[in-house]
Amino acid sequence: MAPIPGSGLAKGLAVTLRTMTKKTVTAQYPDAQPELPPRTRGVIGLFEENCTVCMLCARECPDWCIYIDSHKETVPPAAPGGRERSRNVLDRFAIDFALCMYCGICIEVCPFDALFWSPEFEYAETDIHELTHERDKLRDWMWTVPAPPALDPGAEEPKEIAAARKSAEKLAAAAQPEPTPRPEPGATPGTGPGSAPQAKPTDPQGGES
């Protein structure tokens, strides 16, 4: 059957009219900021105090876009007579966001909780080379990382908090003054354990007794 002339135009106009009456979903960015979920994968923040330069993130990154430089430093022994230790000191930590595919593998594999997702997304550049961001910038993005979600009621206390609480309790117990021993019933005052030695009685005539 041959199509009725003008039916295509009518169909198109019907779609236009239907869409015109619907609520618009277009966000007028940058005049209006988008409402993003708090766990948006915007950019990667580095908490460098936690980084031990283990290189796991750089090794596991499928794009090889994490650049880490470090040097070794000798640390004096913790106790006299102990052995000197060496530790890695971070010199450079950079991520090339022109290569990064936001897979999150680096964040998952970091054993020391040094990498986090931040919802920050406004770091576009006109030059692709400017998309390699160094440790200071990655550190700045840590401030926009949302707090971890609350634990389920009745969940086990996190290991770090349990360890910190135990050490605080130990320190508080060590700072408590030792209780003074109570004198035994019938004992002469000043003769119990811990009492000051008694002065030797002197002869009123001047000689020692």
110 lies in the site for ligand SF4, by CB under 6 A: yes
Q: Return the range that interacts with ligand SF4 (CB under 6 A); candidates 103-111, 123-131, 146-154, 181-189.
A: 103-111
* Residues 6+ positions from 106 with CB-CB distance below 8 Å: 44, 57, 58, 60, 61, 66, 115
Cα–Cα distance, 57 to 17 (Å, whole number) = 53
Residues 6-24 as b or e (16 or more Cβ within 10 Å = b): eeeeeeeeeeeeeeeeeee
Q: State the Cα torsion 123-124-125-130 to the nearest 10°.
A: 50
Whole-Å CA distances, 40 to 44, 95, 117, 123? 11, 18, 7, 15
Cα 83 from chain centroid? Answer: 31
Length of the chain: 209
Binding pattern for the stretch 4-43 against ligand SF4, x by CB under 6 A and - elsewhere: ----------------------------------------
Q: Which is nearer to ligand SF4, 12 or 62 (CB)?
A: 62
Among 43, 114, 138, 145, binds ligand SF4 (CB under 6 A): 114
Cα–Cα distance, 57 to 43 (Å, whole number) = 15
Among 65, 116, 133, 138, binds ligand SF4 (CB under 6 A): 65
Among 66, 133, 138, 141, binds ligand SF4 (CB under 6 A): 66
Would you say 65 is a known binding-site residue? no
Q: Which is nearer to ligand SF4, 119 or 183 (CB)?
A: 119
Among 57, 116, 133, 141, binds ligand SF4 (CB under 6 A): 57
Among 43, 45, 95, 118, binds ligand SF4 (CB under 6 A): 95
Binding site, annotated residues for [4Fe-4S] cluster: 51, 54, 57, 61, 100, 103, 106, 110
| Residues at the contact surface with ligand SF4, assessed by CB under 6 A | 51-57, 61-63, 65-66, 68, 95, 100-106, 110, 112, 114-115
